[in-house]
Every structure is written in structure tokens, then in C-alpha cells.
Amino acid sequence: MAVRILGVVVDGISGVETTVEARYSDGLRVTEVKIVGLPDTAVREGMLRARSATAALRRGVTTPAGVLVNLAPADVRKTGRSLDLPLAMVYAALHLGRSDATSCGLVFVGEVGLGGAVRSVPGTLAAVMEARRAGRSGVVVPRANLAEARLIAGPALYPVDTVEDAFRVLVGEAMADDGPRGPAAGATVSGPDLSDVRGQHHARRALEVAAAGRHNLLMEGPPGSGKTMLARRLPGILPPLADEEGLEVARIQSVVRSLDVTRIHLPPFRAPHHSATAVGLVGGGTPIRPGEFSQAHHGVLFMDEFPEFDRRALEVLREPMEERAVHITRACGVRRFPADFMLVAAMNPCPCGYQGLGDGRCSCTPRRVQGYRGRLSGPLLDRLDMRIPLRPVPSAALLDDDVQGEPSASVLARVVAARERQRTRWPAVTGSNGQAPDAAVRSANAYSASTKRLLLKLVTSQRLSARAIRRLERVARTVADLAGDAAVGELHLMEAMGFRLGGEMESRVEVETGRGS
């Protein structure tokens, strides 16, 4: 007699349905249990936990022979603790002769303790998604993972606390959970507010434009000029995620850390340390797990001390900035992880940080400064839409309590309005100017003759590459959207060029007064 139970293992951020089957084998000792099908150490130890956890269920039952357990498909490496519960169920069902209960279409997910407790496991959301894809009737999950399992509408859910609870589900003696399904309205944005920022009007404006069009941004300034303060306030002016986007983010978070289901509509904010390796950023390891790029999916990736990152770690940024995904190649195949993030980078002007202040504190030689800035390659800098210089705010402005900056809520309202214009413009293509195809941006901009001449003049004088031109046009389109203008004009283009060059352009004044056309 063979007994079969369905489980799920997590491969990357996806679930892989696994059939756990067991039968008595005369070739094994009576007390022996052999598990095959490429199990890792955690799965092998899970079999020991399963035997101990089901001792109460099997009390008084004599084992006629050893047990052979197979995990199918046999060519997929089985990792993690999520197979503990199906191993326990197949072992108990085999000893109790309940093969009739093993073809019910249920999927079991969970870790078990030696005393029979069922504990939470990472990747439960991915497991429920896989069960829905496979058309399974229900999923048995640890009660601690019930909230994230409810995010997915589809198969019935059976939350359990012990292996005895799970066995009652297996034999049809338990009721399914009747709680609400699907993403619910979650937490609103709460955190640092832009009103805390004194001065830095140009940088605040740049942050608003970046948020409205999902543009990559580089801030450069000495220590204490507000780079980190500004970056940490960016999530507060980003629109909430749609349900589909929130589920993508939740699936990644469920695999790598504890998932807070009340925050799945909030864009993630990740700030890796500059000592992070390329693997830590891209992802990898054994088993393969997503890195910082993917954990910032649909959110913000803040890289402080930008030139201090390892050169290889910086260069791997190119792929996600262009393709909005990363690919990890291993002997077992290629894994693709989503990585559609806004990059916000920050750096000092020199190794000591005080160059350009004119107060004598900078001790860096030109060669040191050149070496420091040379860590950022031209192709990488070319992919940054906006470059913003920051200067220290005068002490009088910092201490003036009568000067209050604009709150995040006001900026967010303008950002949401600009995003709506973008969705209306190309609903089938993208939701933001930073992601729009080049041809779509050029078509939407519809320059006048004078604007075309200005664009040609700027491109020629600044020797912009083809990529830089495309990014300049995207930022100009966002500036126009924030202003509510259908066409990109000269003022929009000049402001975008100011962001591209790293500061306000004097020629913008000429345009505003009619002398620059």
C-alpha cells in the first residue's frame, strides 16, 4: 500500500508542488525510514521531527517493516522546513492504513515540533499561489501563517495548531476557515514627513519629480546636508501599490522575512549597507533567495555612500535598471526575480566629504577625488535620470521654527495626479514615465518647433548619449504631468536638463523671460 500527500517547496520565490509518497519496504529494517528524491539536510531532519510529532497518533500501531519515502518530482532539490507537515501526514496515514484519505486534493504546508506543534514557515504565500495554480481544493497551513494565506482567493484554507488538527483535516473531520479572502485595505503611509526638511527646495522638488515618474536619482553633498533625510521621506510621497503589485511584493517578503499583511500596499524601502556583496544585492545562495534588488521591488532602493560599494556590486545594477528584473544562473537552471525599483543613490563630493565648502576642512588631493569619483562608471551614471547637488542648510534656517516645509500629504496629492495622467496616456503599456517605452515617450511629448530646437541645442552642447537623451525626455514629460500640461514645453525641458546636469541652469531664466528661444 502506498500513501500520497501533497506539499510545496519554495524555489526562489515560487512554489513547486511536491508529492510525498510512502510505503513499507521489506528491504529496510523495521525501524528504518529512508527518504529519496533529492532532500536537503532540513528535509531529512524533518522526517525525524515528523516521526516524533506523530507518536501520539500512532500509539499502539505495530510497524511491519521499514518505510521508504519518495519526494516527486525526483529531479528537483527539496529544501526548507515546509515539507515537515506532509511528511508527518504521510507517515501517520501509512501506519493507520488511511490510504483512502490521501487523494483528497489537499496541500499541506508547515514545520512540526517534536511534540506535535505546527509552526510557521517562510513562503506560505507562494505555496498557496502554487496550490491555486494547480487547481487544488484546499491548503492546510500553520495558524501563524493564516493571515498571509488569506491574501489569495481560491483554495479553501485549514489553519492548524498541531499535527492532530492536520490529521483531522486529512480524514475530513474539520471545517475550512471562513475568514475574508484577498488583499484588504491596509496601513496608510506613516513615517518621516517632508515637512521636517528645512531648506533644500531644489532637492525637494527633485524628489517630487522622481516620485511622480519613478525616475532614478543621485544626490551629492557633504555630510549633514540632508541626503539620507530626504531619501527616507520618499516612500511618504509614493502612491500606494495596487493589489497585484502588493501581492508581488508580499510573495518576496514572505520568502525572506516575516510578512506584515497590513503593509502590502506600502512601497518597500530598502537601504543595504555599502559593504553588501553582489550576491547580497542580486540574490543567490543555497537555496536561492532574492537579494536587496528584488526586496525593493515596486519600491525604493536607497544606496548611501554610493561609490563605497564594491565595483562589481555597482555594475550589476545595470541589469535591473534596464530590464527591471535580475537573472541568477546556477547548475539547476536560471532563476528570474523581479526587481522594478526606484534607485536613490547618495554620495559625498570627495572621500572626506567636505570638498567645495571653502572652509579648509577638505584634505583630499585631486588624485584621491578622481579615484573616488571614478568608481562610478560612465554607463552607470548614464542610467541615472537626475543628479542633485546639496549644500548644507544655514544654521539660521535650521533653527527657525516659523519656517515649515510643505507636508508629504500635499506633495503626494500632486504625485498621484501625475501618475493618473500617465496611466490614462498609456494604460496598456506602463504606469509611469520612467518605465514607458522610448517610442511612447517621444510620441507623447509632441514637441513644438521651438522646443525641438532647444532640445537639439541642449543635446549638442552637453554631448548627451542616446540613453541620456531618452532619460531627459522622460523627466521632462514628468515635469509637464506635474504641471498638468499636455505638451512638453521649453520650461519643462529646461527644468529636466537642470536635474540632469546636477543643478539649476542659468539659461532657464533666459527661457522664462523669452531670451532663450
How far, in Å, CA of 343 to CA of 340, rounded? Answer: 9
How far, in Å, CA of 16 to CA of 10, rounded? Answer: 6
Higher-confidence residue: 265 or 395?
A: 265
Q: Is the pLDDT of residue 515 over 70?
A: no
In the prediction, which pLDDT does 67 show?
Answer: 95
Comparing C-alpha atoms, which of 103, 76, 81 is closest to residue 90?
103
Mean pLDDT of the chain: 90
Strand 333-338 and strand 325-330: the pairing is: antiparallel
- The pLDDT of 412-419, averaged and rounded, is 96
How far, in Å, CA of 444 to CA of 438, rounded? Answer: 10
Per-residue pLDDT band at 301 (split at 50, 70, 90): very high
The model carries a pTM of: 0.90
Provide the residue type at 424 as one letter.
T
> For 373, how many CA atoms within 13 A lie in the half-sphere containing its CB?
16
Q: Which residue has the cell 560599494?
A: 309
Contacts of 155 (CB under 8 A, 6+ apart): 107, 128, 131, 132, 136, 137, 138, 139
Please count the other Cβ atoms lying within 10 Å of the Cβ belonging to residue 483.
Answer: 14
Cα-flanking dihedrals φ and ψ of residue 231, to 5°? Answer: -60, -40
Contact by Cβ (8 Å): 263, 292: no
pLDDT in tens, 260-278: 998 999 999 999 999 999 9
Q: State the alpha helices, DSSP H only, in 214-326.
A: 227-231, 243-256, 278-282, 292-295, 311-315, 318-323
> For 515, how many CA atoms within 13 A lie in the half-sphere containing its CB?
6
In the prediction, which pLDDT does 435 show?
Answer: 83
Strand 138-142 and strand 118-119: the pairing is: unpaired
- The pLDDT of 101-106, averaged and rounded, is 78
Per-residue pLDDT band at 85 (split at 50, 70, 90): very high
Contact by Cβ (8 Å): 251, 13: yes
2-170 belongs to CATH 3.30.230.10? yes
Per-residue pLDDT band at 506 (split at 50, 70, 90): very low
Task: Name the β-bridge partners of 138.
Answer: 106, 156
Q: Is the pLDDT of residue 380 over 80?
A: yes
pLDDT in tens, 329-366: 887 778 999 999 999 999 999 999 988 888 888 989 99
Contacts of 324 (CB under 8 A, 6+ apart): 338, 339, 340, 435
In the prediction, which pLDDT does 199 show?
Answer: 83
pLDDT in tens, 208-267: 999 999 999 999 999 989 999 999 999 999 999 999 999 999 999 999 988 999 899 999
Secondary element (H or E) of residue 168: helix 163-170
Per-residue pLDDT band at 429 (split at 50, 70, 90): low
In the prediction, which pLDDT does 204 show?
Answer: 94
In the prediction, which pLDDT does 442 show?
Answer: 76
Phi-psi region at 2: left, alpha or beta (left = phi > 0; alpha = psi -120 to 50)? beta
Cα-flanking dihedrals φ and ψ of residue 130, to 5°? Answer: -65, -40
- The pLDDT of 377-390, averaged and rounded, is 92
How far, in Å, CA of 419 to CA of 424, rounded? Answer: 9
Helix 408-425 to helix 466-483 angle, to the nearest 10 degrees? 110
pLDDT in tens, 496-505: 999 988 754 4
Q: Return the CATH number of the domain spanning residue range 194-409.
A: 3.40.50.300
Contact by Cβ (8 Å): 72, 113: no
Question: Computed from CA positions of residues 497, 499, 505, 509, in that sequence, does the dihedral angle turn out positive or negative?
Answer: positive
In the prediction, which pLDDT does 84 show?
Answer: 98
Comparing C-alpha atoms, which of 413, 414, 477, 402 is closest to residue 446?
477
Higher-confidence residue: 52 or 462?
A: 52
In the prediction, which pLDDT does 426 show?
Answer: 75
Q: Is the pLDDT of residue 482 over 60?
A: yes
Strand 66-72 and strand 14-25: the pairing is: antiparallel
Lowest-confidence segment of 280-294, 305-319, 434-448 by average pLDDT: 434-448
Question: Computed from CA positions of residues 429, 432, 436, 440, in that sequence, does the dihedral angle turn out positive or negative?
Answer: positive
Contact by Cβ (8 Å): 48, 36: no
In the prediction, which pLDDT does 462 show?
Answer: 87
3-state secondary structure of 124: helix
In the prediction, which pLDDT does 447 show?
Answer: 86
pLDDT in tens, 137-196: 999 999 999 999 999 998 999 999 999 999 999 999 999 999 999 888 766 666 789 988
Helix, strand counts (H, E) of the chain: 21, 18
In the prediction, which pLDDT does 254 show?
Answer: 95
Q: Which residue has the cell 471562513?
A: 178
How far, in Å, CA of 148 to CA of 82, rounded? Answer: 15
